[in-house]
Amino acid sequence: MDPGPDPDPPERGPLAIAAGMGVPEGPGAVLLIGGAARASGEVARLIPGIEVLAMSPAAQSWKPEPGVSRMVAWPGLPVRSGRVRGVALDVGAWPDWGSEVKRVLVPGGRAVLLGPVVADAPWSDDEALALLLSDGDVAVVAVG
């Protein structure tokens, strides 16, 4: 699992990411991975009281922002199991996201998947993931 260089994906709206995760307010944390982490400051401002964990190879060069903790780590997610209320990530940078995202999300937590979403995606045969929304380049799944 190597996310490689931080891709420069099409602009993803922070409002769409925040809404897709379904977290109206803190306390707690959400995790934005790869190119999705570029929206971390805006997401922190949109969700009162939330801590945004921004995980990206480019995060070290970003300016500090209130409510945002930047990290660079791989392989796996450096978060305790069942502690994150929402996740957003670019699936193109991390095609095998399923098991780690399920591990860190709270029950009922949502993952916003950005990038080409295909029929044989990890949720298609996984009873622990429920597809809530898919429009081709954005999908939202919930952990049961």
CB 135 within 8 A of CB 109: no
Question: What residue segments make up the domains of the chain, in order of their start?
Answer: 14-143
DSSP H stretches of helix in the chain: 14-21, 40-46, 98-104
* Statement: residue 91 has pLDDT above 90: no
Amino acid 8: pLDDT: 44
Render pLDDT for 23-58 as a digit per residue (tens, 0 to 9): 999 999 999 998 899 999 999 999 999 999 999 888
- Indicate the class that CATH gives domain 14-143: alpha beta
Give the Cα separation of 68 and 54 in Å (integer): 7
Give the highest mean pLDDT range of 44-58, 88-102, 125-139: 44-58
Predicted structure pTM score? 0.85
Amino acid 7: pLDDT: 46
